[in-house]
């Protein structure tokens, strides 16, 4: 049975978010990634596997090494989902700004 991974479950884990942040800067090998964590290389590999299954991370063979890098289009999917909330927050902040400006004028 194949497990369908959800990108939001993947980014819920702080270690996976840290891996995403690292490979957003440059492609890295599993060993290079593991050096940044106080855990085994196998544990980091499991996190990378989940990120790969969600298509947040892609792998590329370069000689004998495998490098992992960020799949930007999947990050855009997360951003688009968050955008609906961002618009609501901006509307509410604008309304709050208007209310505070009105209150400030009334105080004068």
Banded pLDDT at 59 (limits 50, 70, 90): very high
In this structure, CATH architecture of domain 7-107: Orthogonal Bundle (1.10)
CA 103 – CA 108 distance, rounded (Å): 9
Measure the CA–CA gap between 71 and 7, rounded to whole angstroms.
12
Task: Single out the residue of 32, 22, 81, 83 nearest to residue 57, CA to CA.
Answer: 22
pTM above 0.85, yes or no: no
Nearest residue to 57 (alpha-carbon basis) of 43, 75, 38: 75
- Three-state DSSP state, 37: coil
Distances in Å between the Cα of 64 and the Cα atoms of 8, 22, 33, 60, 85 are 32, 21, 16, 11, 44
Average pLDDT in the 36-40 region? 92
Mean pLDDT over all residues of the chain? 91
List the single range of 3-17, 21-35, 65-79 with lowest mean pLDDT: 3-17
């Amino acid at each position: 049975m194949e497990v369908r991974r959800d990108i939001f479950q993947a980014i819920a884990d702080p270690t996976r978010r840290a891996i995403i942040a690292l490979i957003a800067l440059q492609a890295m090998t599993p060993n290079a990634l593991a050096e940044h964590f106080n855990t085994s290389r196998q544990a980091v590999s499991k996190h990378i596997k989940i990120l790969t299954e969600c298509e947040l991370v892609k792998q590329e063979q370069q000689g004998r090494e495998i490098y992992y890098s960020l799949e930007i289009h999947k990050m855009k999917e997360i951003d688009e989902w968050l955008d609906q909330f961002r618009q609501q927050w901006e509307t509410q902040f604008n309304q709050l700004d208007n209310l505070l400006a009105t209150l400030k004028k009334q105080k004068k």
